[in-house]
Structure 1
Amino acid sequence: MQDVADRAGVSLTTVSFVVNGAKPVAASTRARVETAMADLGYRRNVLARALASQRSRILALVFPALEHRLGSAALSIVTAAAAAATERGFNVVLWPVTGAAQLDDYVSGGLVDGVLLMEVTAEDPRVDVLRDRQVPFGLVGRTERPDGLAFVDMDFEGMVAVGLEHLADLGHTRTALFLGDLGSPSWSGYGPITRTEEAYLRLAAERDLGAVVVRAPQDPRSGHRAADGLIAAHPDVTAVLALNEAALSGFVNGLVAGGRSVPDDVSVLGVATSSEAISTADPAVSAVVAPGPELGRRSVDALIDRLAEPSLPALQLLLGGELRLAGSTAPPR
């Protein structure tokens, strides 16, 4: 830093202000300092800065990648979170952590200032780990009893309501729900699936729309098999809500292969589906699109705000989705 100061003709304190953003510096002076830094190949020592400030300025996104696919919707959350953190002077690392014990090993080293938990379950044991370690954290999702917890989550109930209203307005009276099957007891009470199913069963009953639930693992072949099963067991179903992004294209292809035209015979509407996933199915699938980018941004901003001011109340926010039509829904024959 002294070399930079000498080259730029400023004080060491001025260089510190530029490097750390501690105080405003005149634009012309900042330009001289940044030019000197570039000429000399100066780089901030991240570890030294962390030791001096007792902050690493790193946030961890905890995603159980060995049990969940990092699909388009989740990836949109991660990329938006990273962009929001960069704007606030933080970095984001993705931890593919499975289980509370592994998370405890990670956070015990003090490498991060805060944690965002993704893929939250009803009784998520990771919450207790972070509380015990006194690590600032937020949830992308929510537990069954989120009192006092900071979370930003999708309004799955609201998105199901939007989807069923659209199908009912088209005249459908026999509907089904296509869900992901995570295939592990540890994921019992996984929020998106549980809340979507509960909302569907209640709202479909209120509207007298039938109530058929079909499940499949998160891959296209399983989606194809689920469509075969739906056609065989419930040939009268004319509309499907789908919360299984990874299997959606296979499900649509299975309907077509089974002799069902989309949307003339069966309408298909995705729920909490990313914009990217809509276009990969053939034909393209209409959907209530997941607010993934906003979810990532708001989660990061809320966590950084509480790092700066711990007395702030915990943000609890539900975000709805937007109905986007791509031609896969129509009135029944």
Structure 2
Amino acid sequence: MNRDFYRNKKVLVTGGTGLIGRPLSELLVRIGADVTVVSLDAPSRAPEGVRFIQKDLRNFDNCVAACSGQEIVFNLIGIKGSPKMAAQKPASFFVPTITFSINMMEAARQAGVERYLFTSSIGVYEPADVFYEDSVWKTFPSENDRFAGWAKRMGELQAQANEIQYGWDKISIVRPANVYGPFDNFDPENAMVIPSLISRALSGERPLTVWGDGSPIRDFIHAKDVARGMLQVVEQGYNKPVNLGSGEGVLIREIAETIADLMPDHCEIVWDTSKPKGDAKRLMDTTRANSLGITPSISLRDGIQETIEWFQENQKISGQRYNAFVDNT
């Protein structure tokens, strides 16, 4: 990454207090960018060294105001939750996700933003062992990701429309794998697997019950590695979708056992095989990311250890922020 590329650039990060947005904003400040963060969160949660705007980006005028004078926009705002939440409250995913996407990209175009990043999702893919970027438009999203997946696909289609009609060819699209780390959603009712297990284990649940048999294989990537990948994609002006994942599978059993092993006391795991375990395998093909010089650097164990320690110190913060929209995809 060329640190000089971002130096003194006016950069806007939506969702800059969330799981990926926080480390991204901190990295941008560190390399000398003039960073503005816009979020629904309170100003006290903004990273140090940024200009903070508290606005609802479902409102187009707010998006226009946020983009005014910006040179680069990283659009990370979105809705994050478990498959259960997506199944029971699909409108809460679909409507805001489309609204955020359409409003922000159009506002950035009208403002003459030079480069723009749209954060898509692993949810755009149909069920498969390995996800390849160019396969998306030949398929349909998984039924489990139908609403969120189609909403994110519409954002990707909007980018294509802008390139065709306006020649705006500096819109980057990233599709993160299963992202984890500090500032995640730790609400055990709608969190993803790593934060949910961490929250439940630290709350004293013994034994720790995990759905399925632990055999599914998933692709996990730390939020800081996603943030670094985003910086590299935008710096290069790359405008084809890029998977951001480890490209290496890990068993859900290994995830659970690592979390149990890192608990202060012995944590026994019980597998509830009467519950669904999900698709057998879901991995990102990272050939395209690797060709751009993007490779993760944080090991899964180290990343989980850091996440546990952060949650122990910030349980109050992580519990409060999920009463409203979650600023991260």
Q: TM-score, normalised by structure 2?
A: 0.38
Structure number with greater CO (CA < 8 Å, separation at least 6) is 2
Q: TM-score, normalised by structure 1?
A: 0.38
